[in-house]
Amino acid sequence: MFYKASLFSLCLLSAGSFADTIYGTVELTHLTPTQAESTWQRENQVVPRYPMKLAQKGIAGCGIFKVNVDAEGTTKSIMLVNSVPKRVIEKPAARVIEEWDWTLVEGKSAASEEKLIRLDFCLGASSEEEAHQLCKQQASMACE
């Protein structure tokens, strides 16, 4: 899912041009357990939406979150482990995670699971393809 907005809504412009468009996207990485090893997976496996508050402020960055899912598949807690910029993305990202519904992976027994996930919020590309590539690069760097 790509967020698309005029530069005017994201940052100050020089020369007064409002015709430019920038693109952003979100990259989700399952750190532990890996997606293949998980007991619970997100019911809807689409890319998370870029939080509007971050996009409007032109904020890009990353966050690592500890997410606890109980034996019924309910998110019990979301804790920020680390982020860049510090603490700015915590609330908007947590709202994204809170919206997720969890489904038990076929063949697994229902049990609580602690997940470590990373969300990268990438902004500033001139096309959807470029946004996706920039986010893949950002997700390979340290989030500290």
55-111 tens-digit pLDDT: 888 889 999 999 999 999 999 999 999 999 988 888 888 888 988 999 999 999 999
Q: Are 89 and 64 in contact (CB under 8 A)?
A: no
This prediction has a pTM of 0.80
Place of tokens 């076929």: 106
Can you tell me the distance from the alpha carbon of 30 to that of 34, in angstroms, rounded to the nearest whole number? Answer: 5
What mean pLDDT is reported for the chain?
A: 83
In Å, what is the CA distance from 34 to each residue of 2, 15, 22? 24, 47, 32
Average the pLDDT over 3-13 and give the result. Answer: 27
Residue 95's pLDDT is: 86
User: Tens digit of pLDDT for each residue in 48-64?
Assistant: 788 888 888 888 999 99
Q: Are 65 and 78 in contact (CB under 8 A)?
A: yes
Q: Are 100 and 73 in contact (CB under 8 A)?
A: no
